[in-house]
Amino acid sequence: MSEFTVHTIPGSPFARAVLAALEEKGARYRLAPVALGTMRSPEHLARHPFGRVPVFEHNGFVIYETQAILRYLDRVLPEPSLTPADPKASARMDQAMNINDWYLFQGVGNVIIFHRVIGPQLMGLKPDEPAIEAAMPKARTVFAVLARLLGDQSFFTGEGISLADLLVAPAVAFFTLTPEWAELGAPHANLAAWLARMEARPSMQATTWERVSEMAKAA
């Protein structure tokens, strides 16, 4: 058994960030699939009292919250480093990661992606168009801010990949599956180029929804 275990459902962008970080580190890990609809089960709530994914285990140490997992990974597997040494660049990394959690996901991704992708594909639901439209003003702001933070750099903290890129990319990638991408992402050429750069990385290719689903079936 590998020393790193990730409990998740396939398709979670937060879990993909953790898996991609493990891939960037060249670490061996085990996927422990969480069945859809069981995140409120006593078994899973014992791992994560808020009923979310991912949950991460390392030699008996259990932790949840994706940012905490990513920072822990970067400390116990320091090479290659995914945190900039420069304090200002590191602060930008933290800023982008918090924008992902508080603004890109809350009220944007958990609305638009749910109604465009998750609900239709996994639950047979029809998109709630008024809910999507209500989320669009915040979405426009978030994508404009991300594009501004990225600027003309290759990655969010400069020319080297960081935890911010690994956290934000899976979330942004979901929007390419929606018609809203034409308005939110495509007009920001630098952001679209950054996403293409990220998705070309082996770590991202190894952690697609399809690849993680295959891992879950084999687990």
**46-76 per-position pLDDT tens digit:** 999 999 999 999 999 999 999 999 999 999 9
Distance CA 85, CA 91 (A): 10
Same fold, 4-81+204-218 and 87-202: no
Specify whether the CB–CB gap between 146 and 96 falls below 8 A. Answer: yes
For domain 87-202, the CATH architecture is: Up-down Bundle (1.20)
What residue segments make up the domains of the chain, in order of their start?
A: 4-81+204-218, 87-202
Per-residue pLDDT of the chain (219 residues; tens, 9 = 90+): 468 999 999 999 999 999 999 999 999 999 999 998 899 999 999 999 999 999 999 999 999 999 999 999 999 999 999 999 999 999 999 999 999 999 999 999 999 999 999 999 999 999 999 999 999 999 999 999 999 999 999 999 999 999 999 999 999 999 999 999 999 999 999 999 999 999 999 999 999 999 999 999 999
Two tokens at 78?
């320091």
User: Backbone phi, then psi, for 5, in 5-degree steps?
Assistant: -130, 135
Question: Whose CA is closest to 117, among 79, 80, 51, 171?
Answer: 171
For domain 4-81+204-218, the CATH architecture is: 3-Layer(aba) Sandwich (3.40)
pLDDT of residue 196: 98
pLDDT of residue 36: 86
What letter represents residue 65's amino acid?
E
